[in-house]
Structures are given as C-alpha cells and as structure tokens.
Amino acid sequence: MPRFMVTGGAGFIGSNLTEMLVEQGHSVAVFDNLATGSDENLSGIRSRIDFVRGDIRDKAAIEAAMQGMDYVIHLAALGSVPRSIEDPATTHEVNATGTLNVLNAARTAEVKRVVCASSSSVYGDTAVLPKEEQMTPSPLSPYAVSKVTGEYYCKAFHRVYGLETVALRYFNVYGRRQDPASQYAAVIPRFVDAMLRGKGPVIYGDGEQSRDFTFVDDCNQANIKACFARGCEGMHFNVGCGGRVSINDLFRKIRDSLGSKAEPVYEPARKGDVRDSLASISRARELLGYEPENGIDEGIRKTVKWYLERYGNPELK
C-alpha cells in the first residue's frame, strides 16, 4: 500500500484531499502546523491517519516526518495576495523556502514523487485567455512570486537530482471547509457568510472581473492523478474547470442558491488582483487524465449545502 504525506493536510484543500485518500484505502500522514488549518477539519478521519504537528520551515521536523513516504502532496502554504502584500517576507519563508525544505526532505527520503500546489496567479494580468502552461509567468504579487519560485525549485530538483515532481496551478478552488472567518477569506465563503448574516457582500472593483472556479473535489482528483501519471515528471499543469464566471454573476448564483435578497457593496479594486482568469486544461486532460466533474452551478449547490449544514440557516434578509 503506498504511503502518502499531505503537507497542510488540516487545511481546506488538504483535509478534503486527506479524506479522499483515506476513502480510497491509502495510508496517509498529515504534516501541518495548524496555523490556518484546524483539528476539526480532520475530526471524521483522525483515527485513520497519522498526524504530525510541524512547520515546513523546520527542516529537521519535515525530514523526520518524511521517512518512509512514497508520495508527497505539498499543500502547506500561506495563501492570499493581500496578506503577501502586507508581509512579503513571511509569505516567502513559508511558500518558497518551505517548498525547498519539502523537496530536500523528499530527495533525502527517496520519495517517489512530489506533487506541489502552485497557483493561477503566476500568470499575472496578461490579457490572453485561456491561460496556457507555455505562457511566461508574470506574477503581480509577492504571493504569486513565491508560488512560481516553488515551481522552479520543483523543475530544478527533477533535472538535477532526478526527483519526480509535478506542479499544479490551481484556479480559484472552493468548496466545503473553506474558512469564511479569516480576514483573507476567499470570495465564495465571504459571499456566503455575509448573506447568511443578512448583509451585502463586498465586491472589489466593478464585479465584471472573471475567474475560473474549481470545485475542491476536482482539484483533489488532479492531485491524486498527478501522483501516478507517467510522462509528466518535472512539468506544471493548470487545474481549473475550463470555464469562467464574473464576480457579479457569482454573487447572483450564490444569492439565488441561498434565497437571499442582499445587494452587493462595491469597493475599490485591490492591488495585485488580476482582471480575468481562465484555464486551458487540455494538457492536464491529456497527460494526467484530469476531467472536472463539477461545473460552477453544481459546485455552488454543494458548497452552499455544506455551509448551511455547518453554520445553520438564520433568517435571510
């Protein structure tokens, strides 16, 4: 039975991934410092996994935990463009140096493959759509720089040391367990949370900016397939839905799903945000066997259902 390590496995994407791996019968260890993840996210499967509380900036800790692993899916990171603008040094330490530590530990432990989470933000604000993997990165924020740095480390470790690596550029992942309480919360949980409390959610800019939203189960399908696919070593791939929706349309979809009457509150656009994003997923389809199964309407339905079950359904206004 292959042995998996999921760094950041107590977080939003990571806990869903860990659950999926366990359900598929794999042996899983989670490495997480619980800075942005939580024990609660793993409560349903805690007895079926090994949990190591540790920080990827701690080289000794990650090296010790890596022993005996076959595959590493590296999700541990500090997300958020605004947070990276406020504190670029910490974002770099966690996302870039932390990734270097993970790769070094994997090389020493003779891990078969490392799948590393990257981000669509590495493309920057290029007008060309869809975003294709051969496009030159043009990061606009310290967060995006830290993610593309991690990609380059993956490529270098494959070329220099022969460590199999795959980097996945996630496009706006959403779904169950995405934290609405954080000041850096992503757009979908922010919208749901505001409307559940009878308030109008904030939209930055005019709301006509567009995104390719990826349901978390589809993202994790790609994570697992990237561990086993052949002919993709040292490469990077887009992981998206292959369609895009404006933020205004997204708001309306969530409002309709909740039965809310809220109206949005518009504020100035934020620094570092890109205008439009759309993934070309043809390379992932061809080489990873990736095929998203949840369009935006189905994904929103599942997501809203989870939030209502988790946080209740107060009277909507």
CATH of domain 174-211+243-279+293-311: 3.90.25.10
Q: Tokens 């603008």, residue? A: 85
**Where exactly does CATH 3.40.50.720 map onto the chain?**
3-171+216-239
Instruction: Give the dihedral of Cα atoms 145, 188, 169, 166; nearest 10 deg.
Output: 120
Angle among Cα 262, 248, 81 to the nearest 5 degrees reads 105
Token pair recorded at residue 6: 């999921």
Active-site residue among 71, 123, 143, 174? 143
State how far the alpha carbon of 265 is from the alpha carbons of 27, 234, 307, in Å.
46, 44, 22
Domain with CATH 3.90.25.10 in the chain: 174-211+243-279+293-311
Distance CA(281)–CA(284), nearest Å, equals: 5
pLDDT at 182 (0 to 100) = 73
> How many whole angstroms separate alpha carbon 235 and alpha carbon 167?
6
pLDDT score of 80: 87
Residues 7/72, Cβ–Cβ less than 8 Å = yes
Active site residue 123: no
What's the distance, CA 149 to chain centroid?
16
Buried b (16+ CB within 10 A) or exposed e, 81-108: bbbbbeeeeebbbbbbbbbbbbbbbbbe
The two structure tokens encoding residue 201:
């959610």
**Which CATH superfamily hosts domain 3-171+216-239?**
NAD(P)-binding Rossmann-like Domain (3.40.50.720)
Please report the DSSP string for 186-229 in residue order: -HHHHHHHHHHTT-PPEEETTS--EE--EEHHHHHHHHHHHHH-
Predicted confidence at residue 313, as pLDDT, reads: 62
Cα 126 from Cα 136, distance rounded (Å): 10
Answer yes or no: are the C-beta atoms of 129 and 276 closer than 8 Å: yes
* The pairing of beta strand 173-174 with beta strand 214-215: parallel
Element (H, E) at 100: helix 98-108
Residues 211-238 pLDDT 10s: 999 999 999 999 999 999 999 999 999 9
Check: CB of residue 268 under 8 Å from CB of residue 205: yes
- The alpha carbon of residue 296 and the mean position of all alpha carbons in its chain are separated, in whole angstroms, by 16
- The secondary element (H helix, E strand) that includes residue 99 is helix 98-108
List per-residue pLDDT tens for the chain, 317 residues long: 899 999 999 999 999 999 999 999 999 999 999 999 999 999 999 999 999 999 999 999 999 999 999 999 999 999 888 899 999 999 999 999 999 999 999 999 999 999 999 999 999 988 899 999 999 999 999 999 999 999 999 999 999 999 999 999 999 999 999 988 776 678 999 999 999 988 999 999 999 999 999 999 999 999 999 999 999 999 999 999 999 999 999 999 999 999 999 999 999 998 877 888 999 999 999 999 999 999 999 999 999 999 998 876 654 43
Task: Quickly count: other Cβ atoms within 10 Å of residue 52's Cβ.
Answer: 17
Cα dihedral angle (315, 294, 144, 30), rounded to 10 degrees? 90
Q: Give, in degrees to the nearest 5, the angle at Cα 175 between 298 and 73.
A: 120
